[in-house]
Structure 1
Amino acid sequence: MRILRIVAVLLAALTVSACGSKFKTYNGPEVTHVVINKGDRRMYLLHHEQVLKQYKIDLGFAPSGHKRFRGDGRTPEGLYKIDRRNPDSAFHLSIGIDYPNERDLAFARMQGKSPGGDIFIHGRPNKKKRGLGRDWTAGCISVKDRHIEDIYAMVRNGTPVTINP
């Protein structure tokens, strides 16, 4: 009887620890494209033309228009790709978008300014989970923590990302 009790406690502990992990696995269809529609505040994970998942999003604090310069609070628009992952993000988990591209760099340089960078799809801040309101990032795309866990597992580096107005 004592052995059964010990086994039951160990199984319960393993179950609880697995539920608390932010690293999920995904074995479904490949995400071939991420589409972000800024206007309706939605992100879509696609397998070719099929929507696998969709999420509500928050954007930069000045979301209208294409990001041009560091500090403008805008979220970029155009075609990019996922180029990095940060499992130790200050925003739960994050995956990087390769902004700025050559066009973004050229425009900012002509203006004598920096285009900025470090644009990510990420979760909520680790230190502050409430009271952020809508469109609070510096230009990133934010989702709920449980959603970035899914996205992090599903989306691979090199996946194209289209960000529409």
Structure 2
Amino acid sequence: MKLTRRAALIGGSLLALTGCGSKFQSYTGPAVTRVAVFKDSRRMYLLHHKSVLKAYDIDLGFAPVGDKKVEGDGKTPEGHYLIDRRNPNSRYHLSIGIDYPRAHDIAEARALGKEPGGDIFIHGQGNPVSRLRRDWTWGCIAVTNDEIEEVYAMVRDGTIVSIYP
């Protein structure tokens, strides 16, 4: 009987501890109305209208200068997009999707005889090895795992994402 009681106490304690370490945060502050990404300064801002709620250092695609044109070019797109999905099981901790490619992106790539690519996300770092060098993604916008937990909680689907050169 003692073994069962001890196992129950240990199991309950472990369950309580894992609840405290959840990667899913809650947020009750002002709504994020826009995400502004500035590629040249490697900064991302979560805005409520004109007020900055949070600012983050970011990493970009491995070829950070210029607009994304085709699949595999390692560039992060530039322009105005929307948050259209989220992935709680991302291999990069958590991620929120950007609705790239849009019609103009597809037309631009096809004019070059190529595909535009896709799966552009704002995400965490996954494992620490991925942050050994700057601008390591395939075109995504990366923050730390702790930071993506904040972003994931604060940014809603449908939020505008403006990515500037």
| TM-score where L is the length of structure 1 | 0.89
Letter in 1 for 2:146: R
1:110 Cα deviation after fit: 1.1
Deviations 1:52-109 (A, max 9, x none): 0000000000000000000000000000010000000010000000011111100111
Letter in 1 for 2:81: Y
Alignment of 1:39-78 (within 5 A): 39-78=40-79
Partner of 1:129: 128
Structure 1: tracts of 5 or more residues without a match: 1-6
1:139 Cα deviation after fit: 0.3
Deviations 1:108-138 (A, max 9, x none): 111110000000000012xx31353100000
Alignment of 1:93-104 (within 5 A): 93-104=94-105
1:19 Cα deviation after fit: 3.0
Inter-partner Cα distance in structure 2 for 1:146 and 1:30: 20
Partner of 1:4: none
Structure 1: 4+ residue segments shifted above 4 A: 10-13
2:152 counterpart of 1:162: no
**CA spacing shift, 1:11–1:160, aligned 2, 3 Å:** same
Letter in 2 for 1:72: D
Deviations 1:16-51 (A, max 9, x none): 333310000000000000000000000000000000
What is the aligned residue count?
Answer: 156
Inter-partner Cα distance in structure 1 for 2:115 and 2:132: 27
Inter-partner Cα distance in structure 2 for 1:101 and 1:129: 32
Inter-partner Cα distance in structure 2 for 1:61 and 1:156: 27
Alignment of 1:1-165 (within 5 A): 14=16, 16-125=17-126, 128-130=127-129, 132-165=132-165
Identity of aligned residues (%): 60
Inter-partner Cα distance in structure 1 for 2:42 and 2:20: 29
Inter-partner Cα distance in structure 1 for 2:19 and 2:40: 37
Structure 2: tracts of 5 or more residues without a match: 1-8
